[in-house]
């Protein structure tokens, strides 16, 4: 939790930036003009909630399905592929001239239980490759990018091989990452292929260790000439944790040296421990995001900037981080009435937000 002194200081500097006392160019010096802004979208709301749908049309140049392209959505059972939600999101992107990202091919989360019955290396390998070939192939040439690997590291990772014990890791071993990237590249050579992680941006040993473990894992893939084009930093920022500015810069430099672009893939700011006052809270949220984005952007322009949802009305944050005072979380760039917040002004300094 921030001390009162820290709170006032950070709040004041944020307001100064927002009111123009600090030149906005100081943040966006490398230019955000061509980096698309976008958001994760919920297929069930597309077309059903018109305010939501129009807000996406207004502000986003790129989208990713929040759900719909996960294994559990696409593969209710071994024999079936269900593309209903995935196709809905893909059509919405095409109809509105937006770029599209696929999410995700290799992740420990929300796996259908039947995959646990895959026994032996070759059965698992066949299933993984078939899935990637079918799913990536379906959207061939229509994807800007795919999150091929999501959250590979265990929470307390120190080394590159401190990996989640997924079905793929248990049956195939670490080679499944290379296999997945190669299969995705073969199925759609035009899509940028990304590895994505969280909890690498704060001050503290656990975050530093995770940053170094991720760097080592990425280096291993690049050294093996695996077709990987970018690293995604999710950016579910915990508002009361300090950003490790130096550590992030170093990470961005290491990725640049490896020839990889950095995207911010799931930005939102978790505000459960921030003060209740809405103006102060929105300013602190925006300021945390500014510190994070500035560190990355100083090394190289952020390739694309996506938030995990667009409005406070629909966000995963209260599932895990409800406020004790009963007030609603405010993690996203638009209010629940679709009004742009200070966070949106910050985002616009690093990416192309339309309709402001
Ligand atoms: O926001 C997503 C929520 O709707 C899903 O139920 C949940 C499933 O575990 O995943 C949430 O999104 C996660 C994303 O897929 C990966 N990075 C972390 C996100 C928040 O947990």
Q: Is 204 in the pocket of ligand 1 (CB under 6 A)?
A: no
Max distance between CA atoms of the chain, in angstroms, equals 62
In three-state form (DSSP H/G/I as H, E/B as E, the rest C), the secondary structure along 52-115 is: HHHHHHHHCCEEEECCCCCHHHHCCCCCCCCCHHHHHHHHHHHHCCCEEEEEEEECCCCCCHHH
pTM above 0.85, yes or no: yes
The alpha carbon of 66 and the centre of ligand 1 are apart by a number of angstroms equal to 7
Q: Quote the CA–CA distance of 56 and 318 in Å, as a whole number.
A: 21
pLDDT band at 16 (very low <50, low <70, confident <90, very high): very low
Pair 218, 194: CB distance under 8 Å: no
Q: Which of 327, 211, 215 is nearest to 275 (CA)?
A: 327
Residue of higher predicted confidence among 18 and 162: 162
Listed residue (86, 304, 96, 292) closest to 202, CA to CA: 292
Query: Is residue 332 one of the residues assigned to a domain?
Result: yes
Alpha-carbon distance 39 to 52, whole Å? 12
Nearest C-alpha neighbor of 200 from the set 229, 235, 231, 158: 235
Q: Is the CB of 234 under 6 A from ligand 1?
A: yes
Identify the band that residue 34 occupies on the pLDDT scale cut at 50, 70 and 90.
confident
Number of domains the chain is built from: 1
Q: Is 124 contained in some domain?
A: yes
316 CA → ligand 1 middle, Å: 7
Binding site membership of 120 for ligand 1 (Cβ less than 6 Å): no
| Exposure on the CB side of residue 344, measured as CA atoms within 13 A | 22
Of all residues in the chain, the percent with pLDDT exceeding 70 is 91
Q: Which atom of ligand 1 is nearest the CA belonging to 316?
A: 1
Q: How confident is residue 22, by pLDDT bands cut at 50, 70 and 90?
A: very low
Asked if the structure places residue 305 within a domain, the reply is yes
Q: Which of 233, 234, 238, 316 to mutate to test the pocket of ligand 1 (most atoms within 8 A of CB)?
A: 316
Specify if 355 maps to a domain: no
Asked if pLDDT for residue 15 goes beyond 60, the answer is no
**What SS3 state is found at 267?**
strand
Instruction: Confirm whether 182 is domain-assigned.
Output: yes
The closest-lying atom of ligand 1 relative to the alpha carbon of residue 309 is: 1
Q: What are phi and psi of 220, to 5 degrees?
A: -60, -45
Residue 130 included in any domain: yes
Residue 325 lies in a domain: yes
Mutate to test the pocket of ligand 1, among 39, 43, 63, 66 (most ligand atoms within 8 A of CB): 66
Q: With respect to residue 353, please indicate whether it lies within any of the assigned structural domains.
A: no
Point out the ligand 1 atom lying closest to the alpha carbon of residue 103: 15
d(CA 173, CA 166): 9
Range of the domain at 215: 3-348
pLDDT tens-digit map of 126-181: 999 999 999 999 999 999 999 999 999 999 999 999 999 999 999 999 999 999 99
The minimum-distance atom of ligand 1 relative to the CA of 67 is 4
DSSP 15-32: HHHHTTSS-GGGTSTT--
Question: Tens digits of per-residue pLDDT, 64-102?
Answer: 999 999 999 999 999 999 999 999 999 999 999 999 999
Question: CATH number of the domain that 137 lies in?
Answer: 3.20.20.80
Q: How far is the CA of 268 from the centre of ligand 1 (A)?
A: 12
Query: 266 CB under 6 A from ligand 1?
Result: yes
- CA–CA separation, 339 and 86 (whole Å): 28
């Amino acid at each position: 939790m921030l001390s009162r002194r820290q709170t006032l200081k950070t709040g004041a500097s944020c307001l100064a930036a927002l009111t123009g006392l600090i030149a906005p160019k100081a943040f966006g010096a490398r230019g955000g003009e061509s980096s698309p802004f976008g958001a994760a979208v919920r297929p069930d709301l597309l077309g059903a909630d018109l305010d939501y749908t129009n807000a996406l049309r207004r502000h986003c140049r790129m989208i990713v399905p929040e759900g719909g392209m996960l294994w559990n959505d696409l593969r209710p059972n071994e024999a079936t592929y269900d593309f209903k939600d995935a196709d809905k999101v893909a059509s919405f992107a095409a109809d509105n001239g937006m770029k599209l990202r696929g999410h995700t091919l290799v992740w420990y989360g929300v796996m259908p239980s039947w995959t646990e019955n895959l026994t032996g290396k070759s059965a698992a390998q066949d299933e993984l490759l078939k899935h990637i070939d079918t799913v990536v192939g379906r959207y061939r040439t229509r994807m800007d990018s795919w999150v091929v690997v999501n959250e590979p590291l265990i929470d307390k990772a120190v080394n590159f091989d401190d990996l989640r014990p997924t079905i793929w890791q248990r049956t195939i071993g670490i080679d499944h990452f290379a296999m997945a990237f190669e299969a995705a590249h073969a199925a759609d050579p035009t899509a940028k292929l990304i590895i994505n992680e969280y909890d690498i941006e704060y001050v503290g040993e656990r975050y530093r260790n995770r940053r170094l473990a991720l760097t080592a894992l990425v280096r291993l893939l690049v050294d093996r000439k695996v077709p990987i084009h970018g690293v995604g930093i999710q950016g579910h920022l915990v508002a009361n944790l300090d950003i490790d500015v130096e550590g992030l810069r170093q990470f961005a430099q290491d990725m640049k040296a490896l020839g990889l672009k950095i995207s911010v893939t799931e930005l939102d700011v978790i505000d459960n421990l921030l003060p209740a006052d809405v103006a102060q809270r929105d300013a602190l949220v925006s300021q945390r995001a500014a510190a994070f984005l500035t560190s990355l952007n100083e090394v190289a322009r952020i390739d694309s900037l996506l938030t995990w949802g667009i409005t406070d009305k629909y966000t995963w944050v209260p599932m895990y981080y409800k406020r004790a005072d009963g007030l609603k979380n405010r993690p996203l760039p638009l209010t629940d009435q679709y009004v742009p917040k200070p966070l949106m002004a910050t985002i616009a300094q690093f990416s192309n937000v339309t309709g402001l």
